[in-house]
Amino acid sequence: MKKLTPTLLCAAILLPSTPVGATESVIAETFSAFSRCDAGFFEKLQANASVWEAHAVLNRSTNASWIAVPDRYEDKKNTIALKDPPAVAGVTLSSYFDEFTDMERMGQYLFWGFIADGSPDHVAKQLAPLLDHPESLRKLGPMHARAEIWEDGKWTTSFGRSGTVPGTRKLERVFLLEPHGANQTRVSCSLQGAVDATVLGAIRPDIPVAEYPAPEQELGFADVTVPAAVVEAVSNPLLAPKFSRLTYTYTSINDQKPSSITVELVAQGDLIHRTEIYSRNFSVQRLMKANLIQLKSKMEGSLGGRVLLTDTISANFPANWNEGQVLRFNSSGRYAPIKARDKAMDTSATCTIGTRFPASEIFASLPGDAIRLSCDYGDRQSTDAFIEDLGVTLTLDSTSGRGRSVDRVTALEIVR
């Protein structure tokens, strides 16, 4: 038998096990299956595992493989960079992501896919020959999307019939290209809304049965009791309500279309029951201290969810309303009923007492003084006014990562 020379031996070692053209074909075939947003993607990863393992760690079951991310439920852990990033139709795929978010009564939201180099317009043009039903891909501003709804046992194009949150009664599937960073595109599949065990079993064989969403268990606002220690911790006569009922309407003005919200406050001993009415079929209930510190809350209506309960709190109240004094509180909450992956919801606030001014500057019929409060919640800042004659706080403006909004009271009625 002819022996290999050192030069030929090195060349043999460096030769790829799969020809470059064949590798590109396999990547394209897998991506085409991905664009259908069904189990076919994971089956192709299984069939083409020898090629994809050069780019990512794969986990396997009997009939499927998937690219493993550290934790699909954590923002900072649900994306991994691909090794030696593969290219498909001239587009480089730099990362893979797998996201699962429980939005309560707004539905379950699953996104999986790739971060691709280039703008959505460029990526859509390059990938069009590989896509499933490219004619259904619509340009929506900077994005491109193919949306479907599950009805009568099949997927049907849903453009013109969507535009609302799917909730827990409607199931949507979307193939989406959207801007990501300076010059990249998120190419994703999504399941949105009424995602259950049947849907996941058919479309996402990479998700174990133990992670399937459990059926919703309904608890009413009144069914969940705030711990006595929490109520005691916020007990303070300086912030006690001095009215029986207070109803007001305010307009929130920001970069978006102004919205009008009606708020009903009912005194319950040292606390206040607050109802925010956003529309005929959507409202939020809260139990508050001085309309400033939340002890529990629940969305009501078609998108109603679980009760968010404050189960621990520490508060430091000022001795009086002198300028420069500080009110602080730190709280931790959880949703009821509890779900396996729930995490504590922590809130910290520091409110610095400012100057007095006539409460009539907020609304003409308000008597006495208002005391300005500058509150810092870390990711949000607000300017509030404590109405001394009523023992209640009203928000004047707030600033967060979503911009600044200014609240203007347009109607108000007091029952002592």
Tens digits of per-residue pLDDT, 279-330? Answer: 888 899 999 999 999 999 998 875 567 899 999 999 999 999 999 999 999 9
Residues 188 and 254 in one domain: no
Q: Which domain holds residue 285?
A: 221-415
pLDDT digit string (tens) for 347-394?
Answer: 999 999 999 999 999 999 999 999 999 999 999 999 999 999 999 999
If asked whether residues 170 and 305 sit together in one domain, one would say no
Q: How confident is the model at residue 224 (pLDDT cuts 50, 70, 90)?
A: very high
> Does residue 240 belong to any structural domain of this protein?
yes
Domain boundary among 211, 245, 268: 211
User: What are the C-alpha distances in Å from 405 to residues 49, 81, 253?
Assistant: 51, 38, 5
DSSP string, 137-170: -EEETTEEEEEEEEETTEEEE-TTS--S--TTT-
DSSP-assigned letter for residue 214: P
Q: How many helices (H) and strands (E) does the chain have?
A: 7, 23
393 and 324 fall within a common domain: yes
CATH of the domain at 358: 2.50.20
Domain assignment present for 9: no
Q: Is residue 192 part of a domain?
A: yes
Q: Is residue 26 part of a domain?
A: no
Q: In angstroms, how far is CA 266 from the centroid of its own chain?
A: 31
Say if CB 185 and CB 115 are below 8 A apart. Answer: yes
**Do 176 and 262 reside in the same domain of the chain?**
no
Tell me the C-alpha distance between 219 and 400, whole Å.
31
**Of 7-21, 28-42, 221-235, 251-265, which range is least confident?**
7-21
Q: Copy the structure tokens of residue 51.
A: 């090629």
Name the CA radius of gyration of the chain, rounded: 28
Asked if residue 51 belongs to a domain, the reply is no
State residue 281's pLDDT score.
81
Q: How many domains does the chain have?
A: 2
Cβ–Cβ < 8 Å for 307, 219: yes
Residue 103 placed within a domain: yes
**261 and 407 belong to one structural domain:** yes
pLDDT for residue 129: 94
- Tell me, yes or no, whether 301 and 380 share the same domain: yes
| Greatest mean pLDDT range, 18-22, 47-51, 156-160 | 47-51
Please tell me whether residues 122 and 256 are part of one structural domain.
no
Question: Are residues 248 and 320 both part of a single domain?
Answer: yes
The verdict on 161 and 239 lying in the same domain is no
Cα distance from N-terminal residue to C-terminal residue, the chain = 105
In b/e form, how buried is each residue of 69-91, taking b as 16+ CB within 10 angstroms?
beebeeeeebbbebeeebebbeb
Is residue 14 assigned to a domain? no
Q: Which of 185, 211, 237 is the last residue of a domain?
A: 211
Residue 159's pLDDT is 67
Lowest mean pLDDT across 161-165, 252-256, 323-327: 161-165
Classify burial at 131, counting beta carbons within 10 Å of its beta carbon; exposed 0-12, middle 13-18, buried 19 or more.
Answer: buried
Average pLDDT, the chain: 90
Whether 263 and 384 share a structural domain: yes
Inside any domain, residue 52: no
Residues 265 and 395 in one domain: yes
* Structural domain ending residue among the three candidates 211, 232, 255: 211
For the cut 80, the answer to whether the pLDDT of residue 18 exceeds it is no
Q: In this structure, are residues 370 and 353 in contact, taking their beta carbons and an 8 Å threshold?
A: no
Do residues 253 and 287 both lie within one domain?
Answer: yes
